[in-house]
A and B are shown apart, each in its own frame.
Chain A
Amino acid sequence: MSLNSSAAHPNDSFADIDRQLRRSNLTTALRRLAGNGFLYFIMVVLALIFMIPLLWMFTTSLKTRQEIFVWPPTWLPAVPQWDNYADAFAKYPLARFMLNSAILVMINALGEVISVPLIAFAFARLRFPGKRILFIMMLSTMMIPGQIKLIPLFSLFSRLGLIGTYWPLVLPSFFGNPFFIFLMVQYMRTIPRDLDEAARIDGASTWTILYRIILPLSLPAVTVMLVFTFLWTWNDFISPLIYLSDFNSYPISVGLAFFQGRYGVEWNMFMAATLISIIPVLVLYFFAQRHLIGGISTLGLKG
């Protein structure tokens, strides 16, 4: 508004206009400062609201059994009970569950690393009849909701005698996940073609080009893929729930859910266990968030 008023009077002397302009610059600057302050205020309040759940989980995990049920609830424990964490490890087989999850993550990561660059390379670089239609078919599988496949896959794996093993949870990775193939194709397309053409003239085979030139240059995309593989495998619930029956083979997601209601009143220890279960994800997130956010903006994927 101040800007408009300073420009709207053609009869004013230059000095007048000058003064008005200067004042208006000052007011805009002040306003901007106040606006930013207000914005920061809103952001801080919102961030607090979003973090209260995690903070409450944390303070609960440090309380005694009596403290979690006092009325009115206290914000902080009188004396932080760090022992709760050791007790949680002793009470629930958390280490076992997390090791199982880590094994699943590693096998899935191995499968993706073997299959995805290979498949993506064909789509991104090689010429062959039927390429367009196959690529469209691959993209369309991303749209199919997974639950329609649960029963047939369960019966397939049960015929193969693989129920209760990790096979159903890791085998599909070795055949390429369409989301990752798409991500990798998009990335490989940005690598200059001159590089592989020069190598081809020098007599390099297709596979040399892939593994010596394209793959090393695609490491950022591989990283994104690995980050998502970790997140999805660590957080997956329904597949291990369906396929695994032996308690000792549970990954952390199913393992934690199994304990819900069994030791119903020990929320302090249970919150400690839940927190422990998300620590690997949080650590990964803080270190890899740049890759994660890059993947999200390419694919529109979420965690």
Chain B
Amino acid sequence: MLASWRRLSPMARREALEAYLALSPWLLGFTLFTVMPIAVSIFLSFTQWTIIEQPIWIGADNYVRMFTRDPLFWQALKVTGSFVLISLPLKLVLGLALALLLNNRLPGMNFFRTVFYIPAVISGVAVSLMWMWLLQPDTGVVNTLLDAVGVKGPNWFWDKDWALPSVALMSIWKVGGSAIIYLAGLQNIPAQLYEAAEIDGAGKWGRFWRITIPLLTPTIFFQLIIEMIDSFKVFTEAFVITQGGPLKSTYFYMLYFYEEAFRNFNMGYASALALFLTLIILATTIFINYTSKRWVYYESE
């Protein structure tokens, strides 16, 4: 950078200085709110720290405890992992299905788009409170409707086998959020491709599998990563509705992290938990990215 600096004309130097000045808020914020916290987090994960005293260096003890002596950690990991495995495919498939419906260019489709996106703009707290009421075992609307068709509805959030699926159900209600992103991807597919395929005699399914899906793979890839990260970070629903119960069946990883950090003030151990989750997310992202060469279609190829 210094070598290139010397080669600059006085005017270019002036422009560069102005640029650094304009960037200074971000440079400062980047150091203060991103680089430093990450470095500190890594350091803290090797300490025992209750925020009042100084952190005590304990080596890899936090990690040893996590993997060998902490059943709660494994429970949180299991809950979060199962949630990702249940909700991620559902959200990806249903989001695409909804987007395909909305992509029909008919009058009134904008109205439906508006309607389906509403759940995605409402706060997690409001949504959680609402679903708590909807899924009441006796007086809830869902069980009332199920009752009308002769099905005995479960106890939802208050049953250890149904609590996690209930949270997944809630997240599916927000599927309009991903549908809108799919829709943007769908609308970028050139219409000529479909016309050409139709002339060649391709049927609806042929066009869907040979044109829509391949050209949509960049969007699917993007959604896969974003939704995966989101699913790993579930917190509000568990905090507001179930507090992790019943019998820890919805004890999400972030809830465990929150309780360790901000209720028990085991900041060192909680840092190790946060770091491990970040590593899982990072590893999954890298893995998906690695496989993407095989299935994501890029136009330049």
Contacts and interface: CB of A to CB of B under 8 A. Distances in A.
B147 A297 contact: no
A60 to B, nearest CB: 7
A277 to B, nearest CB: 6
Contacts of B119: 50, 53
Given A54-B118, A141-B30, A277 B101 contact: no
A161 interface: no
B205 interface: no
B226 interface: yes
A293 B270 CA distance: 37
Interface in B86-133: 98, 101, 104, 106, 108-109, 112-126, 128-133
Interface stretch (B57-65, B68-76, B159-167, B172-180): B172-180
Interface string A259-303: 010000001001100100110011001100100110011001011
B123 A50 contact: no
Interface stretch (B31-39, B150-158, B292-300): B31-39
A267 B285 CA distance: 41
A14 interface: no
B26 A175 contact: yes
Interface string B15-29: 110111011011111
Task: Identify whether the interface residues of B are mostly helix, strand, loop, or mixed.
Answer: helix
Contacts of B104: 39
A54 B226 CA distance: 26
Contacts of B129: 256-257, 260, 270-271, 274
A73 interface: yes
A138 B26 contact: yes
A150 B262 CA distance: 10
Contacts of A147: 233, 254, 257, 274, 277-278
Contacts of A69: 139
Contact of A300 (B134, B181, B281): B181
A274 to B, nearest CB: 5
Contacts of B41: 148-149, 151-152
Contact of B139 (A71, A206, A252): A71
A149 B37 contact: yes
B130 A141 contact: no
A51 B130 CA distance: 12
A122 interface: yes
A281 B147 contact: no
Contact of B33 (A175, A277, A285, A303): A175
A231 B130 contact: no
Contact of B123 (A56, A234, A289): A234
Interface in A91-149: 115, 118-119, 121-123, 126-131, 134, 137-138, 141, 143-145, 147-149
Contacts of B22: 118-119, 121-122, 126, 206, 210
Contacts of A138: 26, 30
A237 interface: yes
Interface in A62-77: 68-73
A227 to B, nearest CB: 10
B118 A175 contact: no
B144 interface: yes
Interface stretch (B77-85, B208-216, B235-243): B235-243
A129 B4 contact: yes
A198 interface: no
B53 to A, nearest CB: 12
A242 B51 CA distance: 14
Given A126-B19, A175-B25, A302 B181 contact: yes
A36 interface: yes
Q: Chain B contact residues (Cβ within 8 angstroms of A): what range?
A: 35 or more
Interface stretch (A20-28, A40-48, A80-88, A217-225): A40-48
A187 interface: no
Nearest to A52: B141
B233 A145 contact: yes
B158 to A, nearest CB: 13
A237 B125 contact: yes
Contacts of B134: 53, 56-57
A20 B254 CA distance: 65
B34 A257 contact: no
Given A56-B134, A126-B18, A300-B222, A176 B115 contact: no
A122 B44 CA distance: 35
A150 B273 CA distance: 12
Contacts of A47: 112, 115-116
Contacts of B141: 52-53, 56, 73
Nearest to A281: B121
B113 to A, nearest CB: 8
A5 interface: no
A85 to B, nearest CB: 16
B30 A137 contact: yes
A150 B138 CA distance: 39
B125 A267 contact: no
Given A130-B1, A145-B281, A151-B261, A122 B19 contact: yes
10 contacts: A50-B119, A53-B141, A126-B15, A148-B37, A181-B26, A206-B18, A260-B132, A281-B122, A282-B122, A285-B118
